[in-house]
Amino acid sequence: MSQSASSNPAAAPAEGHAPHKSYLTDGTTVRSWLLSVDHKRIAIMYLVLILLAFLVGGIFALLVRIEHLSPGPTIMDAMTYNRVFTLHGVVMVFLFLVPAVPSIFGNFLLPIMVGAKDVAFPRLNLLSLYLWIFGAGLALWGMINGGADTGWTFYTPYSTTTTTTVAPILVGVFILGMGGILTGLNFIVTVHTMRAPGITWFKLPLFVWASYGTAVVQVLATPVIGLVVLLTAADNTFHIGLFDPARGGDPVLFQHLFWFYSHPAVYIMVLPAFGIISEVVSAFSRKNIFGYRMIAYSTLGIAFVGFFVWGHHMFVSGESTLDAGIFSVITMLVGVFTAIKVFNWVGTVYGGAVDFKTPFAYFCGFLFFVVFGGMTGTALGVVSLDVHWHDTYFVVAHFHFIMVGAAMMAFLAGLHYWFPKMFGRMYHEGWGLTGATLITLGFIVTFVPQFLAGNYGMPRRYYEYPEQYQALNVISTLGALMLFTGFFTILCYLIYALRHGKLATSNPWDSHGYEWRTASPPTTHNFDGPQPFFPEEPHLYTTKPAPEAQHAV
């Protein structure tokens, strides 16, 4: 029963004469891709589409930064500016960050990691892809025809009275949410019912734990925003006035319902990122993961506690001080769970034989950003401090540290770590490290000045700003250009590697993760023959804990 692929690292992946074809070459027509129910092909289609969305969102971000080069109007008028920052937010949050890791890496790896041939409901999986396409198309259509100027948060009563095209974008968000629910539902059922013999709950790879926690949040939180965006779209179109203060409604109720989803959505974005990091840090430290159970439990802890902190977005919205106090205290718990993870990752690196490859370089950046972003997050969670920082660039910088610094860096770490798994080719390591350096430095240069500007009182979403903030804004824009260069570099060498990269062995990193026990790229049914049997733990590098204290790094 046991898989022999790991003991046969020379198994030629793509054009070898293996008895089973790799998923990439098994059927080459367009139809065989578009109607494929193979989770790996769906993941690759997601990869292409989501990266396109990321490109769109990134261009909008760059436009916003260029506009802020000078205090007054620079390249666009105020209304265009409102639309551009809204579109940046909507695209990045709903089209990129929320679906990115689950739909790409989760789809590709979760079934392989639990030793299954596919996700539980392959056709629903394909449907979720098409829901993403449909929702994204509708949202983008709305953006081209008018475009919203509400910010990605769609706060009422502005979003229900503005004359810009909000309703199609809201309906698009609803459809995207349905796609996300189907993905999450699929993952939960897959983990519950399709684990291979020998894989108990506490032998699941940590990426599976993270994806599972994410899926739970996705399934339980998304319906609420689904309802809210539908009501808001109905309000915008038919003026049903459910949140309209002129009719006796309460706009803060909208914010309650909105953040009941949108705060857990933060964990939809970062939990899978944490999962990637747990995999990467263990594989490149050549060491068993430190505190496996604590990482697994803290994943569930974050997923659960994340549902009870939404009110910290509304400290200055007229929320009661009692509620604000309670939310503030519970918010600190998220910091505790995240800190547990950070300590475990550091503990894993400690005493390990670090193999400083590109994914590990991203891990280093990630660690710094997640600590910095997390610490500013707990600071923002304090009511009295938030009153000063609310809706300033301090908040912008904080959540970009988590969204870009943590989630995006982990996404890139995963992309580089699993690139040979997905495509059977290697990228150039030197270029990889160059890209990682550019991204990390560019990120710091972009967002650290924003912390300072925010602390001095520069509000977010404003078209113009006083001249005293110009120096910081110029530095930030230069950083954004550096980030853009970094992404462009990565895009170039990865696309080059797709065709001309060195052929990868089936386990180029010598990783002990479950997913590396099959060929790279995997065959259509992941494993040849019956369900595999995994006797040992996923992150097992040394059977006995090494005496670490004697030879620390």
Residues lying near another protein in the complex (CB under 8 A): 78-79, 116-118, 120-122, 124, 149, 157-158, 161-164, 181, 185-186, 188-189, 192-195, 197, 219-224, 226-228, 231, 234-235, 238-242, 244-250, 252-253, 256-257, 260, 307-308, 311, 318-323, 326, 525, 530-531
Q: Closer CB to another protein, residue 157 or residue 291?
A: 157
Q: Which are the contacts of 77, defined by CB distance < 8 A and separation ≥ 6?
A: none
Least distance (Å) between residue 248 CB and another protein: 4
- Report d(CA 515, CA 318) in Å as an integer: 50
Least distance (Å) between residue 323 CB and another protein: 5
Comparing C-alpha atoms, which of 511, 531, 547, 419 is closest to residue 9?
Answer: 511
**Residue whose token pair is 């110029």:** 474
Least distance (Å) between residue 158 CB and another protein: 6
Least distance (Å) between residue 258 CB and another protein: 10
Least distance (Å) between residue 263 CB and another protein: 12
Least distance (Å) between residue 472 CB and another protein: 27
Q: Which are the contacts of 373, defined by CB distance < 8 A and separation ≥ 6?
A: 398, 399, 401, 402, 405, 406
Q: Closer CB to another protein, residue 38 or residue 279?
A: 38
- Report d(CA 380, CA 266) in Å as an integer: 15
| Helices 251-285 + 409-423 axis angle, to 10 | 50
Is there a contact between 102 and 184 (Cβ–Cβ < 8 Å)? yes
Least distance (Å) between residue 269 CB and another protein: 19
- Report d(CA 113, CA 210) in Å as an integer: 12
Q: Where are the alpha helices (DSSP H) in 194-291?
A: 206-238, 251-285
Q: Closer CB to another protein, residue 254 or residue 487?
A: 254
Least distance (Å) between residue 96 CB and another protein: 23
In whole angstroms, how far apart are CA 114 and each of 107, 134, 157, 537?
A: 12, 30, 47, 12
Q: Which residues pair with 502 in a beta bridge?
A: 426
Comparing C-alpha atoms, which of 280, 514, 505, 507 is closest to residue 413?
Answer: 280
Other beta carbons within 10 angstroms of residue 319's beta carbon come to 18
Please report, in angstroms and rounded to a whole number, the separation of the first and last CA atoms in the chain: 40
Is there a contact between 116 and 125 (Cβ–Cβ < 8 Å)? no
Q: Closer CB to another protein, residue 240 or residue 478?
A: 240
Altogether, the residues listed in the chain come to a count of 553
Is there a contact between 88 and 139 (Cβ–Cβ < 8 Å)? no
Least distance (Å) between residue 237 CB and another protein: 11
Strand ranges in 368-453 using DSSP code E only, listed in sequence order:
425-426
Q: Closer CB to another protein, residue 47 or residue 221?
A: 221
Least distance (Å) between residue 183 CB and another protein: 12
Q: Closer CB to another protein, residue 319 or residue 515?
A: 319
Least distance (Å) between residue 320 CB and another protein: 3
Least distance (Å) between residue 191 CB and another protein: 10
- Report d(CA 472, CA 449) in Å as an integer: 5
Is there a contact between 424 and 22 (Cβ–Cβ < 8 Å)? yes
b/e code 203-232 from CB counts within 10 Å (16+ = b): bbbbbbbbbbbbbbbbbbbbebbbebbebb
Q: Closer CB to another protein, residue 311 or residue 501?
A: 311
Q: Closer CB to another protein, residue 391 or residue 548?
A: 391
Report cis status (omega within 30 of 0) of the bond before 157: yes
Q: Closer CB to another protein, residue 310 or residue 447?
A: 310
Q: Closer CB to another protein, residue 26 or residue 548?
A: 26
Residue type, 432: G
Q: Closer CB to another protein, residue 37 or residue 371?
A: 37
Q: Closer CB to another protein, residue 241 or residue 457?
A: 241
Is there a contact between 523 and 25 (Cβ–Cβ < 8 Å)? no
Report cis status (omega within 30 of 0) of the bond before 245: no
Q: Closer CB to another protein, residue 157 or residue 459?
A: 157
**Residue whose token pair is 């309703």:** 167
State the chain's maximal CA–CA distance in angstroms.
72
Least distance (Å) between residue 79 CB and another protein: 5
